[in-house]
Structure 1
Amino acid sequence: MSTRSRASSSVGGPKGSGSASASAVAQPVNAGRIAAYVLFFVLGAVIGAAGALVQGGWIPGGLLLALLGAAGLFYGGSRATGTRAGAVAPAAGWLVAVMLLTAARPEGDFLFGAGVGSYAFLLGGMAVAVMCATLGQRSQPGGPAARLGK
Structure 2
Amino acid sequence: MSGDRTPMLAQPLRPPSAGRAALYLGLFVCGAVVGVAGALVQADWFPGGLLLALAGEAGLVLGGALASGGRAGAVASAVGWMIAVVFLTTSRPEGDFLFAAGGGSYLFLLGGMAVAVICATVGWVRQPNGGDARLGK
TM-score range, shorter chain: 0.7 to 0.9
Gaps of 5+ in 2: none
Match of 2:127 in 1: 139
Q: 1:48 offset after TM fit, Å? A: 0.3
Q: Which amino acid in structure 2 is aligned with residue 88 of structure 1?
A: V
Percentage of identical aligned residues: 62
> Structure 1, unaligned stretches of length 5 or more?
13-17
Q: How many angstroms apart in 1 are the aligned matches of 2:134 and 2:20? A: 29
CA RMSD in angstroms comes to 2.6
* Distance in structure 1 (CA, Å) of the matches to 2:20 and 2:84: 22
Alignment TM-score, normalising by the size of structure 1: 0.78
Could you tell me which residue of structure 1 aligns to residue 116 of structure 2? 129
Greater RCO structure (CA 8 Å; 6+ sep): 2
State which drifts further: 128-137 or 27-36.
Answer: 27-36
The Cα offsets for residues 17-71 of structure 1, whole Å up to 9 and x where unpaired, read as x8xxx99xx8972111110000000000000000000000001100000000000
Residue in structure 2 matched with residue 48 of structure 1 by the alignment: 35
Pairing partner for 1:39 from 18, 26, 34: 26
Q: 2 CA distance for matches of 1:28 and 1:108?
A: 43
Going from structure 1 to structure 2, the CA distance change for 1:27 and 1:130 (only over 3 Å counts) comes to: farther
Give the structure-2-normalised TM-score: 0.85
Instruction: Select the structure of larger CA radius of gyration.
Output: 1
For 1:33 and 1:89, locate their aligned partners in 2 and report how far apart those are by CA, in whole Å.
Answer: 12
Please give the alpha-carbon distance, in whole angstroms, between the structure 2 residues aligned to 1:139 and 1:59.
39
Render the CA deviation track for 1:59-113: whole Å, top value 9, x for unaligned. Answer: 1100000000000000100011011111010111111110111001111110000
